[in-house]
A and B are shown apart, each in its own frame.
Chain A
């Protein structure tokens, strides 16, 4: 410590960075820290959206373990190594990811007017897409849902978008979709605006438009000449079925839209920290593709040169092998079904307890998250008194709920609601 003190005395002078303010804490990470620090045996983490087993543990998918072992063997046999990937990424991975999203029978796939760019998970795909739309297409207005994933705004802002607006989405009264509000706001969007849409399992609300509503949204986007940019972080994870969860994106492709879709393999492969992702691009004509790829190449070069191999290789091994692919689909079903069970269990208990309000939204919402409708007061109470850690928006991650804590969670919510009624 003496050395440190002496050193800082010697450094006692103006730093170039003296005016840099502390960054605002990000709620979900602060929540995680608070949860970690809590010593109460009943504590429940309902914050971060990462899958947990019924024992409350992370799950490394067996098929992922298998793929990792296979890759290690390939390195030993010198079939693969750690050399640079192409700028636009692992070619087989990107093509498989795009095909998985659009479906093999997609007109875009059959006509070669779709392609994938490997990216740093969903975030990286959004950022590359946003940079392209801003710098190459000259777009500078974007819309995201109110509410949306906390990072959408910053990604587009840092990509240079000047105007970032919200379209209404969550209706607190009905605890459902404010469809009329959404339509009205999109109707007022300027031509060419980029609209960020959640492909399935909306984060944070868990509320997805119905097929019929998607039809109307598509009509509007077409009429107003807006650009659809889908964020697909939960394909397979929401319903348990890859095709079902891809319906919306595929519908837009069938309708003839050009679009971007960011894909994350963080959740459906449990590969959160390996940053496996893809930007799927669908165009209605093959002629600009070469130029688009060349421009995307320049954008990627200026960001990170080329993407990381490991996560993409794991996904590619699985997607390419029919047995492993099936095994993976079974894993997704396990994860999705456990979540669906927990939703059912929570709703049943709340209704049985006679908790004031309606709770059908818990099972009508889909995916990892639920916008419970709990107020900030109730959430604060839950944190302080019941050691339940959820965002003050009332968003809970269903992954944190399990058969071991279901009764406790339901009772705690009941207590919170009745206290502040």
Chain B
């Protein structure tokens, strides 16, 4: 008999299950629009030229070593990462930045800090930190904060009929929250919908958060990847901090915008009101990090810091971001054009209005299943596709398959 005999099997993560199924599919022309990792037009991963250059420098640096980083991580990364998010200016003096295991690690670090210091604990949250998550959101948000013992609530976000933000419902819900409640916001390129608030909508969101004294937690995994412009993609965060004077947390990932997925490079930033408070927060954030990982891995951090600190590499990196976001945009346009040319039933214009790697196509569960079973096209059941999985080589087939499937399912129905 094992101690572990009674352990129930946990449900498999749908995306990993999808990838497994895709890998097992023998079809030569199978298409994977599941996982959100960038692919070139040849369908391959892309190791950025600036990443290659940075690695070369690290490899040939005579003073390179593998000694422990401090608990707070690689300071040059922390500094550059903060500047990247918040922009140059006096606010950088009052931000606490600690390296984390990419975006997930940054979110978890926030979770640990909130538990320890009763951040976001409200009178009716049962002693637990309370957080609001958008409907829908990256599924790991729910899982992570539930695991941390948070009191979780979902706020209205997507209006799936118009594929826009349901801003009135969202504001109304948020306005009813107790002070201190944490509100998770996607900094740009909302995952999974690709639907971001407009600037006017961000202003309204910021206003209600300020009035009700709520705590914004930005998850920004796609800075530079959404519009192709780093500053534009950080607009919402900077508006909250600079114009509204709000305190906030930012969970930052370098997985996508540097293509460094497996090296787990990220940061957690706490923007507060004074350098003194920032210093104390930083120490406490570092302490929580110690109990998770002791200190963060150096490789990814040094690559990113090398690029961010070198003006020439930085410029080349910006060009790479334009290339990646540009290809995604091209695929969006081509997809919509293709569907319109086929006269595929439905309105598909939201696909080019959406932004970032993902698109909530509006395809139903049934349609997704048909696409998988009949056409060897793999996407998550909510109709989300990763545009990076499309390319000039497979787009036509994708369009035709969607057209076929939509006609199959919608020919009987009277909706349109």
Binding site for B on A (CB under 8 A): 3-4, 6-8, 10-23, 26, 29, 48, 50, 58, 60, 64, 68-69, 72, 75-76, 78, 81-85, 87, 120-124, 127, 135-137, 151, 154-155, 157-158, 227, 258, 266, 270-275, 283-285, 287-288, 290-292, 294-295, 297-299, 301-311
Contact = CB atoms under 8 A, between A and B. Distances in A.
Contact of B59 (A68, A285, A291): A68
A305 B37 contact: no
A3 B93 CA distance: 10
A275 B66 contact: no
Contacts of B394: none
Contacts of A136: 7
B216 to A, nearest CB: 11
Interface stretch (B101-109, B305-313, B316-324): B101-109
A306 B262 contact: yes
B143 interface: yes
Contact of A305 (B104, B117, B280, B290): B104
Contacts of A124: 292-294
Contacts of A10: 245
25 contacts: A7-B90, A15-B247, A17-B117, A17-B280, A23-B284, A82-B51, A82-B261, A121-B294, A123-B294, A136-B7, A151-B290, A158-B288, A270-B66, A271-B66, A291-B8, A294-B10, A298-B10, A301-B104, A301-B143, A304-B101, A304-B264, A305-B101, A305-B105, A308-B101, A308-B264
A85 B101 CA distance: 13
Interface in B36-74: 37, 44-45, 47, 51-52, 55-56, 59, 64-71
Nearest to A75: B47
Contact of B66 (A21, A48, A154, A272): A272
A310 B300 contact: yes
A163 B368 CA distance: 49
A42 B28 CA distance: 69
A8 B37 contact: no
A85 B93 CA distance: 36
Task: Say which size band chain B's interface belongs to.
Answer: 35 or more
Contacts of B180: 16
B261 A120 contact: no
A15 B293 contact: no
A173 B140 CA distance: 53
What 10 A-B pairs have minimum CB-CB distances, sorted nearest first?
A: A7-B90, A304-B101, A302-B147, A273-B298, A23-B283, A123-B294, A310-B299, A309-B262, A294-B10, A120-B293
Contact of A303 (B105, B275, B286): B105
A85 B300 CA distance: 14
